[in-house]
Amino acid sequence: MPALPVLPLSSSLRGHEALPLEPVLRRFWESSGVELLVKSEEEIRNEPLLVLLHLTGGTEHLALKLVEAIKAPILLLAHRSHNSLPAALETLARLREDGRRAWLVTENSGETLPLFAWAAALAREIRGKRIGLIGGASPWLVASSLDPSVLGEKLGVEVVEVPLEDLKKRLPLKPLVLPEGEGIGIGDNERKMVGRAYTALKSLVSEFQLSAVSLACFGLLSEGCTACWALARLSDEGIPGGCEGDLPALLALWLGRILTGLPGFLANPAEADLKRERLLLAHCTVPFLLVESFGLRTHFESGIGLAVAGKLRPGPYTLVRFSGKRLERAFIVEGTVLSEAPGREDLCRTQVWFKMPKGAIEKLLREPLGNHHVLVPGHHRPVLSLFHKLFLAEP
């Protein structure tokens, strides 16, 4: 459980000496399992989530003054004595009147405070990091071509834009590794070409110190190769690899990796089975850490190169899609990957049926947010939804 930095606020009538802080912090920990780390005013200003603990009453003006020059979302904490809750309620009401994103949690919050701790930890982890956008967004992603400045403004993430030609220039004659596994319709040349793509991507990741990367991968077809295997291997190695320059999808992959320690599966919704409340997802790449077995095939759309046909492990997953010009919209549902393997030849090579909650498919079709969706292993809707509400949704 990540710790949560906090700034205690006390009235001048009752300082810290009059009201010991440790018992209050201990009760929060006993109730929620979250350790509150006391920080100075200067330190707390640099946190993605501004957490203020009303130790006493009469602290409303202190909180309002502190947040004046800070744009971060605000979490107010209140305990059971010394007029803490009245002060927090008054402060929260004023903050919301002023259009600020603010929430209140009490010491008996149970599972609520851990969600804030995890959401803040995700935002803290990605802040100041760099991700790569190689070749820009593919032209058919008409609803997913995010302005990179949005990630900088909202999350403090720098997007490094690299022309596709720079990647092509790095394709080595001899790759670092070659794909292993049984193949259908592929030979040594396809294995060599995709190994070269992986080596070139690794070079860019190292040079620019990238934490994640998305690639306009169809631009490599002119070189006789694809990036499907390379992106799968990078994802296994802890560098989320996304397809077609889709930055919203890459963000979902990245957050899922931090949250679970595992890669995610980025895919196209290919068929909606309304009667059975399930969605068929397909793509030509899947991280090997997620599959029970896999084979190597040609790339579906082009019939060349090398793609990954994997069988995803069945079990609980969370389907995630961020969207909107400022990432203000989200579709996040928990469900189950089924064991059934479609094995269709008219779709991308990795295919999986995802059982969704009642009404979720209707919502996806009625209010679509775009093409690519990401499957994150495990059930994580509460944390990811709160992260979106805190750091991406508009006030």
Mean predicted confidence (pLDDT) in 256-261: 97
Average pLDDT over the chain reads 92
What are 200-253's pLDDT values in tens digits? 999 999 999 999 999 987 767 777 778 899 999 999 999 999 998 999 999 999
Q: Which of 368, 360, 378 is nearest to 279 (CA)?
A: 360
Domain 4-126 CATH (choose: 3.40.50.2300, 3.40.50.720, 1.10.3720.10, 3.40.50.10940): 3.40.50.10940
Tell me the C-alpha distance between 200 and 198, whole Å.
5
Q: Over pLDDT 70: what percentage of the chain?
A: 97
pLDDT (tens digit, 9 = 90+) per residue, 165-195? 998 888 888 888 888 888 888 888 888 888 9
Upper half-sphere CA count for residue 255 (Cβ side, 13 Å) = 32
* pLDDT, tens digit, 9 for 90 and up, residues 32-73: 999 999 999 999 999 999 999 999 999 999 999 999 989 999
Distance CA 176, CA 25 (A): 52
Q: In what order do the strands lie in the sheet with 36-38?
A: 36-38, 4-9, 50-54, 74-78, 102-106
**Cα 331 to Cα 88: distance, rounded to the nearest angstrom:** 31
Pairing of strands 307-312, 212-215: unpaired
| Residue 104 backbone phi and psi in degrees, to 5 | -130, 135
pLDDT at 185: 82
Nearest to 357, CA basis, from 313, 388, 316: 316
Helix (H, G, I), strand (E, B) or coil at 23: helix
For residue 7, the one-letter residue type is L
pLDDT, tens only, 133-146: 999 888 888 888 89
Average the pLDDT over 277-306 and give the result: 88
At 151 the pLDDT is 97
Could you tell me which of 204, 208, 198 has the C-alpha nearest to residue 166?
204
Integer Cα distance of 84 and 105 in angstroms: 11
DSSP 314-356: PEEEEEEEEESTTS-EEEEEEEEE-S-----SSS-SEEEEEE-
Dist CA 181 CA 294 (whole Å): 8
By C-alpha distance, which of 184, 218, 223 is closest to 302? 218
Label residue 302 by pLDDT band (50, 70, 90).
Answer: low
Please report the pLDDT score of residue 193 as a whole number.
86
- 0.85 exceeded by pTM: yes
Of the pLDDT bands very low, low, confident and very high (cuts 50, 70, 90), residue 12 is low
The CATH 3.40.50.10940 portion of the chain extends over 4-126
Q: Which percentage of the chain shows pLDDT scores above 90?
A: 74
DSSP states of 44-87: HTTSSSEEEEE-SSS-HHHHHHHHTT--S-EEEEE-SSTTHHHH
pLDDT at residue number 222: 75
Residue 346 has pLDDT above 70, yes or no: yes
More confident of the two residues 204 and 1: 204
On the CB side of 334, CA atoms within 13 Å amount to: 10
Look at residue 376 and tell me whether its pLDDT is greater than 70: yes
Q: How is the chain split among helix, strand and coil, in percent rounded to 5?
A: 35, 25, 40
CA 76 to chain centre: 25
Q: What is the pLDDT of residue 217?
A: 78
